[in-house]
Amino acid sequence: MLKKAFVSMALLMMVTFLMTTPGLAQKVRGVTDTEVLIGQTGPQTGPAALWGAVARGTGLYFKGINDEGGIHGRKVKYFLRDDGYQPAKTRAIATEFVEQMGIFGVVGCVGVGPGMAVRDYYTENKVLMVSFGCSGVTNWINPFNRYIFATYPLYVDEARGLTRYLFEQMKLTKVAVFYQNDDYGKQGLEGVEHYEKEKGLKLVASVSAEVTERDLSSHALKLKSSGAEAVVMWAMPTHAALLLAECAKIGYKPQWATSSTLSDSPVMMQITKGLWTGMILSYPIEPPDSNNPLMVKYRAWHQKYEPNERWGTFYYSGCVYAEPFVEGLKRAGRNLTPETFIKAMETLKDWRGGIGGPFTFTSTDHQGAKYVRYAQVQPDSTVKILTDWVRITK
């Protein structure tokens, strides 16, 4: 009797030991011999659906990568879910991703609001978040989180860089800001204020608008009466169009400058009825008609897989957000785990293997995008790149 009990105990202990020993029975979630499972959330419906193109662009990129044979014998199995830019939905999708599908990571998900709702959950479950948010809001990367790799320039740095460009290259000292009254807009304001403070200058006016506001006539008057030579704008496309029209009406023609979020020049040119000409843009990727060999390849993929999609900057920026992820997979090698992936990503130093700026990740800093170029919108809606890559993050 005692012998039987002893044998059963021993067996039980062995089984427990085997189950808890890494490398023996455990396998990595989302990684099989032939596949890596990746999730992505992005608004395909609702008021923020404009940015949903980013998510579809990432899908195009993965299709191309899979057709080229995948990475280390593994293909990317990719799930796109529509969260309508609603954090509660993003959270529900996250549970589905982790507990039902068992994904390895998420790539290029859209929206900081939705991101904030799932950051802790993904971190607890060791889900890698590469290019999540597609946004440069600082509270996404603070405090430091090993599982987050950010590939979008910080808005604060972008705005500071733009003001520096206006001041140093265009000799414009009287600068005003027009911003959307939320996190995104306020970080634009903050960036401009940083630079003005550094140089001992004074911001001549800061004018804000609520997201839903549709009448910007008094905003335009305020900007005009401030006498600003240049206006840095941190807003949505609709506000940009309304403000430019109002300013044109009252004969106010400052030098405009804006963030990469308004870099879709053909759309902006159309909705501003040509007033977008001359806009100075902070430009973190290649222009749509670039001859960069990768851009040529991506355009070919676009023609082959998704010819009905418009080749706009939001769409192909979906590729930019996935490029560092695929590079990380390549560097991590066949033995892919969250740990080996993180270590591999942290070896990217001024990496220029994609259509974005140089990316650098270290063990203490996962804000990879620190460079932009400056561009100016031409009358035919193309953009002229004015500078080489300029470092904007200190």
Partner 1 sequence: MLGQLIVSGLAVGACYSLLALAMVIIYKTSDVLNFAQGEMAMISTYVAFTLMESHHVPFQWAVILTFLFAILLGASFEFVFLRQAKEPTVLGLIIITLGFEMILMGFAGWKWGPDQRSLDFPVSNIETYNLFGLVMSKINFWTIVISLVLMFILFLFFRYTKVGVAMRATQQNQLAARVMGIRTKWILSFTWAISSMVGAVAGMLIAALGVLDPTMMMDPLLKSFASAVLGGMTSLPGTAVGGAMLGIIENLFGGYVSLAFKSVVAFAVIVLMLCIKPSGLLAKHYVKKV
Q: Which two tokens stand for residue 135?
A: 């946004």
Three-state DSSP class for residue 344: helix
Q: How far is Cα 233 from Cα 223, in angstroms, rounded to an integer?
A: 11
- Shortest distance (Å) from residue 248 CB to partner 1: 5
- Cα 59 to Cα 32, 42, 138: the distances in Å are 20, 11, 26
What is the number of alpha carbons within 13 Å of residue 337 lying toward its C-beta? 8
Residue 249 interacting with partner 1 (CB under 8 A): yes
Residue 92 interacting with partner 1 (CB under 8 A): no
Residue 217 interacting with partner 1 (CB under 8 A): yes
Residue 248 interacting with partner 1 (CB under 8 A): yes
Range 302-331, binding partner 1 (CB under 8 A): none
Give the number of residues in contact with partner 1, rule: CB under 8 A: 37
Contact between residue 117 and residue 110 where contact means Cβ atoms under 8 Å apart: no
Q: What is the DSSP letter of 96?
A: I
Residue 253 interacting with partner 1 (CB under 8 A): no
- Shortest distance (Å) from residue 61 CB to partner 1: 21
In the chain, the amino acid numbered 297 is K
- Shortest distance (Å) from residue 94 CB to partner 1: 23
Rule CB under 8 A: choose which of 218, 335, 363, 387 binds partner 1: 218
Rule CB under 8 A: choose which of 87, 102, 113, 237 binds partner 1: 237
Residue 50 interacting with partner 1 (CB under 8 A): yes
Rule CB under 8 A: choose which of 210, 289, 339, 350 binds partner 1: 210
Q: Which two tokens stand for residue 210?
A: 């609520």
Q: How many CB atoms lie within 10 A of CB 64?
A: 18
Burial category of 343 from C-beta neighbours within 10 Å (exposed 0-12, middle 13-18, buried 19 and up): middle
Q: With respect to partner 1, which residue has the nearer C-beta, 249 or 384? A: 249
Q: Which two tokens stand for residue 312?
A: 């706009």
Residue 251 interacting with partner 1 (CB under 8 A): yes
In the chain, the amino acid numbered 91 is R
Q: How far is Cα 216 from Cα 220, in angstroms, rounded to an integer?
A: 6
One DSSP character per residue, 346-386 reads: TT-SSB-SSSBS-B---SS--B-B-EEEEEEE-TTS-EEE-
Residue 267 interacting with partner 1 (CB under 8 A): yes
Q: Which two tokens stand for residue 345?
A: 């990503």
Residue 52 interacting with partner 1 (CB under 8 A): yes
Rule CB under 8 A: choose which of 28, 170, 201, 221 binds partner 1: 221
Rule CB under 8 A: choose which of 166, 242, 322, 336 binds partner 1: 242
What is the number of alpha carbons within 13 Å of residue 323 lying toward its C-beta? 23
User: In DSSP terms, which residues pair with 281 in a beta bridge?
Assistant: 258, 375
Binding region for partner 1 (CB under 8 A) out of 112-120, 161-169, 219-227, 298-306 = 219-227
Binding region for partner 1 (CB under 8 A) out of 158-166, 203-211, 253-261, 315-323 = 203-211
Residue 222 interacting with partner 1 (CB under 8 A): yes
- Shortest distance (Å) from residue 227 CB to partner 1: 13
Rule CB under 8 A: choose which of 241, 319, 377, 383 binds partner 1: 241
Binding region for partner 1 (CB under 8 A) out of 21-29, 95-103, 142-150, 265-273 = 265-273
Residue 86 interacting with partner 1 (CB under 8 A): no
In sequence order, the 6+-apart residues with CB closer than 8 A to the CB of 254 are 176, 223, 228, 229, 230, 231, 247
Residue 179 φ then ψ, to 5°: -140, 155
- Shortest distance (Å) from residue 99 CB to partner 1: 29
Contact between residue 247 and residue 235 where contact means Cβ atoms under 8 Å apart: no
Q: With respect to partner 1, which residue has the nearer C-beta, 172 or 242? A: 242
Residue 48 interacting with partner 1 (CB under 8 A): yes
- Shortest distance (Å) from residue 224 CB to partner 1: 9
Residues that bind partner 1 (CB under 8 A): 45-50, 52, 181, 207-210, 212-215, 217-219, 221-222, 225, 237-238, 241-242, 245-246, 248-251, 267, 270-271, 273, 275
